[in-house]
């Protein structure tokens, strides 16, 4: 189709679909997406095309990158313009496509929520859509990254639910949240066997003066994602975009580092950085052996939560003079302590 970059397929699948409840066939769509004026229409058109391609491989759950519907590099003004209610046209369309192709979809979008005082709040959200075309949840990002996200979005709150997709337990995190060990551990303790994290991780961005700003951190898809998969004995997938997005004269270049890791920290499939890619992997825990000497021992069972009170303390000592965490209600930071 004219206007679309070629999509490379990288797969690790078996002859038959995983047995219901025993595993799932996961798809990760990494692509150059549109951002700004007209982006929603373009990206939703691409969405159905991606679902059609994934269906050729009998994918059961397909994930798209963070803020896929409107694009990531939004100004605060544009973020408000492109935001939709969770029953808005893009999510309705996503539900229709999921039902049509019998495929669950993780559809990241900008969510608009009315408040009782007549104002609105805006969230970096992920629509979790079942294979039956039902909106299971609109998951609002709870850990925002950097000042730009704080300028655009309110902080979400969540109890980090686990969803049954084709009978298989799946957890969802959003970009920066994949880097917090507490969150993947919570989902694993709640029974998730697969975590999927849509993201918009960039390699660098170019400022209006032409200077390139290097991102000051390593590629977490090769470090943290495999480590957290192993530590929690789960599958962990990181779902990024490729290529560029522009906002005025600013330009973001994305890492294109989508990956699916197995419960032993192994890399199952990984995307090429500059390539539009469809990753497809069968995630079946039963195909993996133990990580410990006997079934009754593993990282989750051997925890000692009575000794972890510091993890819940609002005051900690890792900085000189100590540090007190701010309170985040569903909205902006609230300095109540």
Tell me the per-residue pLDDT of 28-69, one tens digit each, with 9 for 90 and over.
Answer: 999 999 987 899 999 999 999 999 999 999 999 999 999 999
User: Residue ranges per domain, the chain?
Assistant: 8-311
Domain 8-311 CATH assignment equals 3.60.110.10: yes
Q: What is the dihedral of CA 117, 143, 284, 240, to 10 degrees?
A: 100
d(CA 126, CA 149): 15
Per-residue pLDDT of the chain (337 residues; tens, 9 = 90+): 345 678 999 999 999 999 999 999 999 999 999 987 899 999 999 999 999 999 999 999 999 999 999 999 999 999 999 999 999 999 999 999 999 999 999 999 999 999 999 999 999 999 999 999 999 999 999 999 988 899 999 999 999 999 999 999 999 999 999 999 999 999 999 999 999 999 999 887 666 677 777 666 789 999 999 999 999 999 999 999 998 887 777 777 888 999 999 999 999 999 988 899 999 999 999 999 888 888 889 999 999 999 999 999 999 988 778 899 988 766 665 543 3
d(CA 203, CA 184): 24
Q: Which residues contact 304 (CB under 8 A, 6 or more apart)?
A: none
**Angle, nearest 10°, between helix axes 224-232 and 181-189?**
30
Tell me the per-residue pLDDT of 77-122, one tens digit each, with 9 for 90 and over.
Answer: 999 999 999 999 999 999 999 999 999 999 999 999 999 999 999 9
Find out whether 43 and 253 touch, Cβ atoms under 8 Å: no
Q: Which residue has the tokens 């982006």?
A: 39
């Amino acid at each position: 189709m004219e206007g679309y970059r070629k999509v490379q397929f990288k797969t690790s699948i078996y002859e038959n679909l995983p047995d219901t409840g025993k595993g799932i066939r996961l798809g990760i769509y990494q692509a150059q997406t549109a951002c700004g004026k007209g982006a929603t229409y373009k990206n939703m058109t691409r969405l159905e095309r991606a679902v059609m391609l994934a269906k050729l491989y009998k994918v059961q759950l397909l994930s798209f990158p963070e803020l896929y519907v409107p694009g990531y590099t939004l100004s605060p003004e544009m973020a408000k313009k492109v935001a939709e209610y969770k029953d808005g046209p893009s999510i309705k369309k996503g539900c229709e496509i999921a039902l049509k192709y019998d495929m669950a979809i993780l559809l990241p979008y900008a969510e608009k929520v009315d408040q009782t005082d007549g104002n609105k709040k805006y969230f970096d959200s992920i629509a979790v859509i079942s294979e039956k075309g039902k909106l299971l949840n609109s998951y609002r990002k709870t850990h925002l990254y950097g000042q730009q996200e704080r300028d655009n979005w309110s902080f979400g709150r969540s109890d980090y639910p686990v969803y049954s997709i084709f009978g298989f337990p799946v957890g969802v995190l959003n970009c920066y949240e994949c880097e917090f060990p507490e969150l993947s551990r919570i989902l694993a303790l709640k029974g998730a066997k697969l975590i999927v994290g849509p993201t918009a991780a960039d390699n660098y961005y170019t400022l209006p003066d032409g200077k390139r700003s290097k991102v000051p951190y390593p590629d977490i898809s090769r470090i943290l994602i495999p480590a957290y998969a192993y530590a929690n004995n789960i599958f962990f997938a990181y779902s990024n975009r490729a290529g560029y997005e522009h906002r005025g004269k600013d330009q973001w270049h994305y890492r294109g580092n989508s990956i699916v890791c197995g419960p032993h920290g192994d890399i199952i499939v990984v995307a090429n950085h500059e390539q539009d890619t469809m990753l497809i992997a069968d995630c079946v825990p039963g195909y993996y052996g133990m990580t410990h000497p006997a079934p009754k021992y593993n990282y989750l069972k051997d925890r000692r939560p009575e000794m972890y009170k510091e993890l819940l303390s609002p005051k900690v000592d890792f900085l000189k003079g100590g540090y007190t965490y701010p309170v985040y209600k569903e909205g902006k930071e609230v300095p109540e302590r």
